[in-house]
Amino acid sequence: MIIPEQLLEKYNSPVPRYTSYPPANYFDTVTENQYIDAVKESNSGNPRNISLYLHIPFCKKLCYYCGCNTSPLGTQAEMKKYVVALKQEIRMVAALIDKGRKVSQIHYGGGTPNALPVEWIAELNELIYSLFTLVDHPEIAIECNPAHLDFNYIDQLKKSGFNRFSLGIQDFDNEVLKTVNRDPSAMPVGDIIQRLKAGSDNVTVNLDFIYGLPGQTVESFLDSIRQAAAIRPDRLVTFSYAHVPWVKKAQKILDKKGLPDTELKMKMFSESHEYLMANGYQSIGLDHYVLESDELYQAVITKSLHRNFQGYCTRQTTGQVYAFGVSAISQLEKGYAQNTKSVKGYIESIGQGHLPIEKGYMLTKNEIIVREVINQLMCNKQINWKELSDHLNISESVIRDAIVYDDAELKQFEEDGILQLTKEGLEMTEGGALFIRNVAASFDPLTRNNSKQFSKPV
C-alpha cells in the first residue's frame, strides 16, 4: 500500500479518533441524577445486553508515551480502599439495572489491571457474578502489562473466568522500551500466549503495538511485527502513537528524544500492514488485525462489527456499557457519563454514597443518528444508506439531514482515491482506509467549524 505524499499533506490534519461519538473532549456537565435517570431509562433501550467496564488506574511505572488515565502505584492499603469503593459503586449501579438483562461483556482496563493482586480481581468477578446474570458465553477481558505477569497469575485469571487477554507489547526492541521508560515482558511472549491458551479453546489473545516512538525505524518496527506474527496471537493492533503533550505532559520528554516524522510513521504502518496481510491476518477497522478464524472477522464479512471504548466487538456481544472506577466512561444508548479522574475524590464520593460523575454528554435525536453513521463507517469501512435506514427505522433523507452530507466533498474524496461512491453508498479503498477518520469527520456537524485539538491520523 503506497500513500502518495500529496494525500498525506492534504489529509494528515488533526481529526477525532471516533472511539465514541461525540468524542470525549465534547463532554460537558452531566450530574449524578442525570446519570441515574439515564441508567434507569437504559433498561428499556438498545442493546438489551449489559457490558461492564472496570478501570484499574494503577501502574508500577509511567510509560512516557501513555495517553491512558493512570495513577502511580499506591501502597496496598491505598489500593485496597480503591477496590472497596469500586465494589460499592458496582452494587449501587447494579441496583438500578433491570434483573432480566444479561451481561455479555466484562472488561478490565487501565492503567494496569494486573498491578493488583490477582485475588482482588477474582473477588471483583465474584461480586459481578453474584449481582448479575450472564449470557451463555460472555467475553471476560483484561488488559495486562506482560512485565508483571507470571504463570500463577495467568492460571488464577483463567480460573476466575477470563477468556480475552490483551497484552501491551508496544515494541520488542528493548532499547525503544528503555527510551519510553517501559520494562520488557517478564517471560517470552510466546510462552505467555501458550499458557493463556492451555486447556481451553475459547481463549483469545491480543497484542498491542505502537508505531511512531523515538528510536523506532521502519525496519525495527517491522521486525517487531514479524516476531509477533510468528507467535500467532489471535489479534494484534498497531496503534499510531497519539502525541497530545498539551494533555499528557510526560509526552514532552519524547519530543526531546526525537519522534519519527510522518513519512516514516506512514511507512511503519504500511509495511507492517502488508506483512500482516501476507501472513494470514485480516484487517479490522483501521489498525486491528485478526486471524481469519476470529469472530471479529466473521462480523466484518456480515457487516455486523461494532465498537465501544473498549475496542471492537460483534453486534451479538455489544451491550450498553456501565463503567466503574476513576475516569471510567459509561456508554448508554442516550448518552455518556464519565467519573472523576481523581482516585481520592472517587473514594470520598463513593464513601458518601454518591456516584462520582464529573462530566458526560446526552445525545440529541440527530446526534444518535450521526453516531450510527460514523460507527458504521469506522467499523465496516463502508456505508449502505438503505441498510442504515432499515436498521434505524427512519428514512434515508432523515439520515442525510442529521449529518453533514456534502456531495462535492465526497466526490473529492473519491477523486483522491480515498473512497468509492457506490449505488448503495460508499466504500473506503484499501489505501484510503488510513484517512477514514477524515471521512467520518466530514459527516460530523460537531467537528466541522470547531477549535478543539485532536491527534493526526498518521
Does 63 engage in binding with ligand SF4 (CB under 6 A)? Answer: yes
Length of the chain: 458
Instruction: Name the residue number minimizing CB distance to ligand SAM.
Output: 168
- Give the list of residues 6+ apart from residue 272 with CB closer than 8 angstroms, or none: 209, 211, 221, 222, 225, 238
Positions touching ligand SAM (CB under 6 A) are 65-68, 109-110, 112, 143, 145, 168, 170, 208, 210, 239, 241-242
Distance separating alpha carbons of residues 56 and 114, to the nearest angstrom: 9
Task: Indicate which of ligand SAM, ligand SF4, none lies near residue 277 (CB less than 5 to 8 Å, by partner kind).
Answer: none
Regarding 51 and contact with ligand SF4 (CB under 6 A), the answer is: no
Chain-centre distance for alpha carbon 94 = 24
For position 189 contacting ligand SF4 by CB under 6 A, the verdict is no
CB 171 within 8 A of CB 189: no
Minimal distance, residue 59 CB to ligand SF4, in Å: 3
Q: Which does residue 62 bind out of ligand SF4, ligand SAM, none, counting CB within 5 to 8 angstroms by kind? A: ligand SF4
- Tell me the closest approach of the beta carbon of residue 111 to ligand SF4, in angstroms: 5
Residue by residue, DSSP assigns 271-299 as HHHHHHHHTTEEEETTTEEEETTSHHHHH
Rounded to the nearest whole angstrom, what is the least distance from the CB of residue 434 to ligand SAM in the complex? 15
Nearer to ligand SAM, 139 or 416 (CB): 139
**Do residues 59 and 71 touch, judged by C-beta distance below 8 A?**
yes
Which of 22, 110, 146, 425 is the binder for ligand SF4 (CB under 6 A)? 110
CA dist 306 and 39 (Å) reads 21
User: Is there binding between residue 185 and ligand SF4 (CB under 6 A)?
Assistant: no
Q: Which one of 104-112, 187-195, 335-343, 424-432 is the stretch in contact with ligand SF4 (CB under 6 A)?
A: 104-112
Minimum distance from residue 287 beta carbon to ligand SF4 (Å): 16
Evaluate the omega torsion of the peptide bond into residue 72 and state whether it is cis, within 30 degrees of 0.
no
Q: Is residue 111 involved in binding ligand SF4 (CB under 6 A)?
A: yes
Q: Is the Cβ–Cβ distance between 429 and 418 less than 8 Å?
A: yes
Q: Residue written as cell 478501570?
A: 55
Q: How far is the CB of 170 from ligand SAM (least distance, A)?
A: 6
Q: Are 426 and 412 in contact (CB under 8 A)?
A: no
**329 three-class SS:** strand
The reply to whether 146 sits near ligand SF4 by the rule CB under 6 A is: no
Q: Of the two residues 239 and 385, which places its CB atom closer to ligand SAM in the complex?
A: 239
| Residues at the site binding ligand SF4, with contacts judged by CB under 6 A | 59, 62-63, 66, 68, 70, 110-112, 145, 168
